[in-house]
Structures are given as structure tokens and as C-alpha cells.
């Protein structure tokens, strides 16, 4: 079986081919138009997807050495995401499905981040999944393929959003998560004490208070020293990263212990964060748990994760017709 996967939920136009022999290609066209605005502009994202999707799919097929007629089924991100962006990928996939008479499979982007772990590995069920991206922060108990029970999620900002918004306050380019990660490596995480919201209880997260705390902190410090940010950038980045990753790792470990689960799976763009990886390694893996983290390219948005999730659904016979509908939020799923 050969599956063509398409991802267009946010600001990456991506296509990948996954088959019985594994991943055959994985192409990403990242949109740079948003950098000047410090965040994704939905209208510009849709236009950029429309401009590049055809060439991106063609490149993914060419790199996999697969002709369009050899594709057995097509998987496409159905949601959650920006509606205009989702529609571009979905309409392209529907056209491809009709033209080549192949089934279409709608893929939940959040699930796909988790199943990215199956590209190079085979995590055993049950496991606890921590999905941390620009739009979501979520802990789930996954008992079997596609049997997910939500344990908790963020009440406001996602972890990646916190990195991006705080990075913007520091004058860093968008997306600020990877930039803060780089600066944090040269800093001391214990320099400044930032809030670790809701760390003592449950599985819910909240990161908007951290952003506000950092804003007031910077305003105050800059009054006394206009060069404060440039003088302490590495220490600020390390201290902020510490506050965010501490909450994530403590709650992940709590979920594992309370549910008697011995396997943890990380997913989403923030799973690329080196301080989070280091803490999970030290405090979860070295405590005896099995830990899976996708390689960097499969952490941030990509189509390989869409293709493998569609492949897994196809193997279960979960094929759909061309009436797959997009949903901007998980709660709008029909
Ligand atoms: O999963 P993803 O590509 O897109 C969403 O589905 O949201 O995640 C993007 C997010 C952005 O907020 C970005 O700043 C963050 O992941 N990110 C990082 C790192 N790499 C990407 N955050 C912290 N450290 C990183 N190394
Ligand atoms: Zn994502």
C-alpha cells in the first residue's frame, strides 16, 4: 500500500509518501511571509498554501519515485487548524482522490503528531502522550491505536505559544521557540524565578500568567537598565525555558505514576526543545520508563506524520469518501 499524505493546517505546506517499506519521501515548504508580523497571518497562510501545494505534492511523489496512479490512498489533515489553510489541503486531496479514484482519509493533526513516533519506532500500548505544539498542550492516555483518553490540556496558551509570545517580548524572531532554545543553552536556568502555574496538581496547564509575569519583569528591569535584555538574554531564555519545561515534565511523570503506565511518548514542535528532552531523559527515562521522542523533523509540522497516520487507518479499513469535512477546533469535529 502506498499513501500520499498532505498537511496544510498552519504555516507549513507539506506532502509525504509512506508505504509498506516505510517513509519514502517527506517534503516541507515553510512559509516565511509571517516573520515580519511576528505570528501567522491566516489569510497569507492560505494564499501561500495555494501557491505551493501542487509543486510540493509533485516533489514528494518524485522523491518517492511513485507515479500519481500508483498511490493507493490519500491522507489529509482535517483539523484542528486554520480553516482557510485546511481547505487548501483538503480541496487538493479531494481533487486528487476523484481524479485517481482512490479513497480519502481525514487525519486529526493532534493524533498525527503522536503517531509520528511510529515512523522510526514502535511504542507499545498503553502509553501516556504529551503533545506540546504552538496550538496545543495536552496529556492523553492512549490505550490502543486511536483509543485516546484526554487527561488534561492547557486552559489558555499552549507551551509553544508561550515560547513564541515571550520571545516576541524579548525581540526574538518568529517562531521564537527554537531561538529561545539556542540562547537558553548559554544561560543559567536558576537566575530568575518565573511562575510554574498549577504545577502541584492535576494534568491541566496554564501558560498565560507566565507571559504576563515576564512582561512585568522586563518592564521593571528595563527601567533601571535599558540594556537589561541584551545583557541577560541567555539567562532569561534559560529561566523561562525552565519554568515551561518543569511543568511539562512534572505533569508527564505524574500521569505515568498515577495510571501505572511505563511508556511515555512526546509529540509536537516543543518536543524538539533541548531542555525538555534533557529533563525527560534524566527524570523519566533514567527512572525506568520507556520514552519515545520523534526526531526533530517529525516533531514540528510535517506530512510524514499525516501519511503514517492515514496508513494506520487504512490498514484498519477506515477509508472515507470525498465528504471529509474540515474542523478548525477539535470540538467542531462531526
Ligand atoms: O507542532 P508545531 O510545528 O505546530 C503546531 O501544530 O502548532 O509546533 C510549532 C511550535 C512553535 O510554537 C515553536 O516555537 C515551537 O513549536 N518550537 C519550539 C522548538 N522548536 C519548535 N519550542 C521550544 N523549543 C524548540 N526547540
Ligand atoms: Zn502541529
One fold for 2-114+301-332 and 123-293: yes
Q: Report the distance separating Cα 328 and Cα 334, nearest Å.
A: 11
User: What are residue 143's phi and psi, to 5 degrees?
Assistant: -80, -30
With 0-12 CB in 10 A as exposed, 13-18 as middle and 19+ as buried, what is 190?
A: exposed
Ligand 1 atom 21 nearest Cα? 269
Which residues lie across from 108 on neighbouring strands? 79
Indicate the range of 61-65, 108-112, 226-230, 330-334 predicted with least confidence.
330-334
Q: Which fold has domain 2-114+301-332?
A: Nucleotidyltransferase; domain 5 (3.30.420)
Domain boundaries of the chain, sorted by first residue: 2-114+301-332, 123-293
Q: Which ligand is nearest to the CA of 161?
A: 1
In testing the pocket of ligand 1, which one of 133, 153, 158, 172 has its CB within 8 Å of the most ligand atoms? 133
Per-residue pLDDT tens for 123-157? Answer: 999 999 999 999 899 999 999 999 999 999 999 99
Contact 261, 126 (CB under 8 A): yes
More confident residue, 41 or 138: 138
Distance between Cα 290 and ligand 2 center (Å): 23
CB 73 within 8 A of CB 310: yes
Pocket probe for ligand 1: among 31, 269, 271, 305, the residue whose CB has the most ligand atoms within 8 Å is 269
Does the C-beta of 187 come closer than 6 Å to ligand 1? Answer: no
How far does the centroid of ligand 1 lie from the alpha carbon of residue 134, in Å?
5
Asked if residue 135 has its Cβ within 6 Å of ligand 1, the reply is: yes
CATH architecture of 123-293: 2-Layer Sandwich (3.30)
Sheet of strand 290-292: strand arrangement: 147-153, 137-144, 127-132, 263-267, 290-292
CB 306 within 8 A of CB 220: no
Model pLDDT for residues 63-95, shown as the tens digit of each residue: 999 999 999 999 999 999 999 999 999 999 999
Tell me whether the omega of the peptide bond preceding residue 80 falls within 30 degrees of 0, making it cis. Answer: yes
Distance 300 CA to ligand 1 centre (A): 6
Residue, of 333 and 119, whose pLDDT is higher:
119
Angle at alpha carbon of residue 234, lines to 215 and 204, rounded to 5°: 55
- For 230, the 3-state DSSP assignment is helix
Tell me the C-alpha distance between 180 and 166, whole Å. Answer: 9
Residue 334 has pLDDT above 80, yes or no: no
Q: What is the pTM (predicted TM-score) of this model? A: 0.94
Task: State whether the beta carbon of 79 lies less than 6 angstroms from ligand 1.
Answer: no
From 157, 162, 177, 273, the mutation candidate for ligand 1 (largest count of ligand atoms within 8 A of CB) is 177
Amino acid at each position: 500500500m502506498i499513501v500520499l499524505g498532505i498537511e496544510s493546517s498552519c504555516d507549513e505546506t507539506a506532502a509525504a509518501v509512506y508505504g509498506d517499506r516505510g517513509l519514502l519521501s517527506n517534503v516541507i515548504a515553510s512559509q516565511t511571509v509571517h516573520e515580519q508580523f511576528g505570528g501567522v497571518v491566516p489569510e497569507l497562510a492560505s494564499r501561500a498554501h495555494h501557491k505551493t501545494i501542487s509543486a510540493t505534492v509533485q516533489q514528494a511523489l518524485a522523491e518517492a519515485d511513485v507515479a500519481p496512479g500508483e498511490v493507493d490512498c490519500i491522507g489529509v489533515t482535517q483539523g484542528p487548524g486554520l480553516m482557510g489553510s485546511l481547505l487548501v489541503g483538503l480541496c487538493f486531496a479531494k481533487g486528487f482522490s476523484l481524479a485517481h479514484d482512490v479513497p480519502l482519509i481525514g487525519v486529526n493533526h493532534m493524533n498525527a503528531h503522536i503517531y509520528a513516533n511510529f515512523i522510526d519506532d514502535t511504542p507499545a500500548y498503553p502509553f501516556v502522550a504529551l503533545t506540546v505544539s504552538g496550538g496545543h498542550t495536552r496529556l492523553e492516555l492512549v490505550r490502543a491505536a486511536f483509543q485516546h483518553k484526554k487527561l488534561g490540556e492547557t486552559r489558555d496558551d499552549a507551551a509553544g505559544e508561550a515560547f513564541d509570545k515571550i520571545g516576541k517580548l524579548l525581540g526574538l524572531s518568529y517562531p521564537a521557540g527554537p531561538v529561545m532554545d539556542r540562547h537558553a543553552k548559554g544561560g543559567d536556568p536558576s537566575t530568575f524565578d518565573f511562575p510554574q502555574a498549577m504545577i502541584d496538581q492535576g494534568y491541566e496547564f496554564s501558560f498565560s500568567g507566565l507571559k504576563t509575569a515576564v512582561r512585568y519583569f522586563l518592564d521593571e528591569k528595563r527601567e533601571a537598565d535599558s540594556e537589561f535584555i541584551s545583557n541577560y538574554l541567555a539567562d532569561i531564555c534559560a529561566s523561562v525555558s525552565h519554568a515551561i519545561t518543569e511543568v511539562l515534565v512534572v505533569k508527564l511523570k505524574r500521569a505515568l505514576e498515577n495510571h501505572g503506565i511505563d511508556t511515555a511518548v512526546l509529540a509536537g514542535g516543543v518536543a524538539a526543545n533541548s531542555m525538555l528532552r534533557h529533563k525527560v531523559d534524566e527524570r523519566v527515562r533514567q527512572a525506568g520508563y520507556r520514552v519515545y521522542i520523534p526526531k526533530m523533523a517529525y516533531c514540528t509540522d510535517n506530512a510524514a506524520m499525516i501519511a503514517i497516520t492515514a496508513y494506520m487507518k487504512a490498514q484498519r479499513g477506515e477509508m472515507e469518501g470525498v465528504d471529509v469535512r474540515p474542523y478548525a477546533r477539535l470540538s467542531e469535529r462531526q
